[in-house]
Structure 1
Amino acid sequence: MLSYQHGYHAGNLADVHKHALLAWMLRYLTAKDKPLFYLETHAGRGLYDLAAPEAAKTGEAAAGITRAEPMLPRDHPYRAVLAATRARHGATAYPGSPLVADHFLRPGDSCHLAELHPAEHAALSQASTRATLHKADGLALAHALLPPTPRRGLALIDPSYEVKTEYGDLARLIPQLHAKWNVGVILLWYPILPDERHRPMVRSLQSALPDAISHEVAFTPARPGHGMQGSGMFMVNPPWGTKEEAARLDGLFAKL
C-alpha cells in the first residue's frame, strides 16, 4: 500500500524478531563460497533514524530494539549489522532489512529490492549500494524473477497487511513460489493481532508446506491502543539450525 511508511515502526519488536532471524540466516548462507540470490518484495527505505519525529511519535523503537539489543548475545550477527550501520550513518541509525542484507551479501551475489512508495523508493536508492531496485509490485516481481539464477537464495516477503485480503492472497502465493523455486528459502513475516486474522493463512500454509517452520513470538503492545501483540515468520526451506536459533529468540522475548 502506498500509504504505509515504516519510519513510524522501525526498530519495533517485530523488526527485532524478523531482522535477528534474517541476519542469522544470511550469515549462515554466505559462509559457503557459492553465489546467492536475494529478493525483497516490500523493501521500504532501508535506513531509518530512530531520533526522527516518526519514531518518537509511536515509541515503538524505544520499546523494541532499545530494550532488546542488550539482551542479544554479543556475537549475534544482528548486533554486527547494528554496529556497522551506526558506525557509517550515526548513533541513531537503524538498518531495515535491505541493509541487513547489504551487510552480508558479497560482490558475486545478486540482490533485488522492490518498493512502490515514491518517497520510500527514493530513500532506498540512497541507502542500498549493491542492489537492483525495482519500483514495482513486489509480489508480481517475485513471480517474474523466480526461479532465479543462481537458484540458491532467499526471498523475504514482508507486506504491510493494510488490506485484509492480503492474508488469503499470500496463502495462495507462497506455495506457488515454492513450486517454481523448490530449493529457495522463502520467508513470510506476519503480524499477530488480537483478532488472530493470521491464523487461517498460517493453517493453509502449514497444510500446503508441512516441512516449513512457523515461528511466533508474543510481546506487550508498544503503547495503549496499539494492536500488534506478536510477530510471526513462516519459513520455507530454512537453513540448518534455524529451529535452534528460533528457540534462542524465544528466550530473549521471554525476558522482554
Structure 2
Amino acid sequence: MLSYQHLYHAGNLADVHKHAVLAVMLDYLTRKDKPLSYLETHAGRGLYFLDAPEAVKTGEAAGGIARAEVAGWFAADHPYARRLAEVRAAEGATAYPGSPLIAAGALRPGDVMHLAELHPGEFAALQAALPARAGLHLHRQDGLQMALSLAPPMPRRGLMVVDPSYELKSDYEAIPGFFASVARKWNVGVLMLWYPLLPGAPHGPMLAALEAGHPGALRHEVHFPPVRAGHRMQGSGLFIVNPPWGIEEETQRLSKLFG
C-alpha cells in the first residue's frame, strides 16, 4: 500500500515487541559460524528520527520505546539495546532503527540481505540509510514476489520478516498461501510474520490458516491500550515458523513486561 509510511508509528510498542524478538533471533542465528540470508518483504525506510513532526504528532514512540527504556525493559547487553545504541551513536540520540538496520547491525561479512520496498520515497530513504556494500540487495518491487522468486535463498540458513501495512483486506488473505509456498521451497528458513491486534480481530482467519499449515510454529501476542483516542491497535502479534531455540524464553519475558 503506497500511502503507508511507518514514520508516524516508528518506535511504538508494536515495534518494541517485533524488534526485540527479531534482535534476539538474529543474535542466536549469528552465533554459528555459517553464513545466512536475511529477507524482508516490507522494509520501509530503515532509519527513523523520533523527533520528526510525524512521530511527535502521534506520540507512539513516547508511549513505546521511550516508555520501555525508562522502565528498564532491556539491559545494555540485550541484542535490541545494542542495536539501538549503535544506531544512536552513528545517527544521533533521536534515531530509531527499523528492522533493516537491526538486521544490518547483527549480520556479518558473508551474510546476505534482500530488502524489498515498493514506495518510491521510502525506497530512496532506505538506499540512503543502507549504503551499497557486499551482500546487500535492495529491491524496489512487491516484497512477496521478491521472496517467492528468491526462495530458497543462498545461503539457505536464514530468516525472513514479513510486515505488511494491513491497510487492505488482501494483505490478510495473501499471507497463508504465501507462507505455505515459501516454506515449501525453503523448509529450513525462519519465517516471521508481524500482525496488529485490532477490534474485530481481522487477523483471525489468517492465523487459523497459518496454524493449520504450520503446526510447530510459535505464536506470540502482547496487548496494550490504544496510544490515543481513535487509535485502533490494541496489541501486537508474531507468528514464527521454525522458531530458533530459546526464543520462547524472550517471548515469555516480554509477556510479563507488557502485562
Q: TM-score range by the shorter chain?
A: over 0.9
AA aligned to 1:241 is: G
Task: Give 3-state SS (helix, strand or coil) of 1:71's partner.
Answer: coil
Distance 2:147 2:114 in 1: 10
2:18 matched to which residue of 1?
A: 18
Q: Give the counterpart letter for 1:194 in structure 2.
A: P
Q: Does 1:103 align with 2:105?
A: yes
Q: 1:133 maps to what in 2?
A: 138
- Tell me which residue corresponds to 1:116: 118
- Structure 2's unaligned 5+ residue stretches are none
1:157 maps to which residue?
162
* Displaced runs of 4 or more, over 4 A: none
Tell me the residue number matched to 1:202: 207
Task: Say which SS state the counterpart of residue 62 (structure 2) adopts.
Answer: helix
Q: CA-to-partner distance for each residue in 1:81-137, whole Å, 9 max, x for gaps? A: 111110000000000000000101111000010001111000000111342100010
SS in 2 for 1:106: coil
Counting aligned pairs with the same residue, the percent is 63
Q: Which runs of 5+ in 1 are unaligned?
A: none
Q: 2:214 aligned with 1:212, yes or no?
A: no
The whole-number CA distance in structure 2 between the counterparts of 1:102 and 1:128 is 8
Asked if 2 retains the 8 angstrom alpha-carbon contact of 1:39 and 1:113, the reply is: yes
Hey, what does 1:87 align to over in structure 2? 89
Superposition RMSD in Å: 0.8
Q: How many residues align?
A: 254
- What CA distance in whole angstroms lies between the structure 1 residues aligned with 2:204 and 2:75? 31
Distance 2:173 2:95 in 1: 35
**Match for residue 243 of structure 2?**
238
Q: CA deviation at 1:149?
A: 1.1
Q: How much has 1:75 moved relative to structure 2?
A: 2.1
User: Shift of the alpha carbon at 1:74?
Assistant: 3.1
The equivalent of 2:42 in structure 1 is 42
2:149 is matched with which residue: 119, 137, 144? 144
Shift of 1:151: 0.6
> Distance in 2 between the 1:110 and 1:165 partners?
30
Deviations 1:49-92 (A, max 9, x none): 00000001100000000001222233211000111110000000
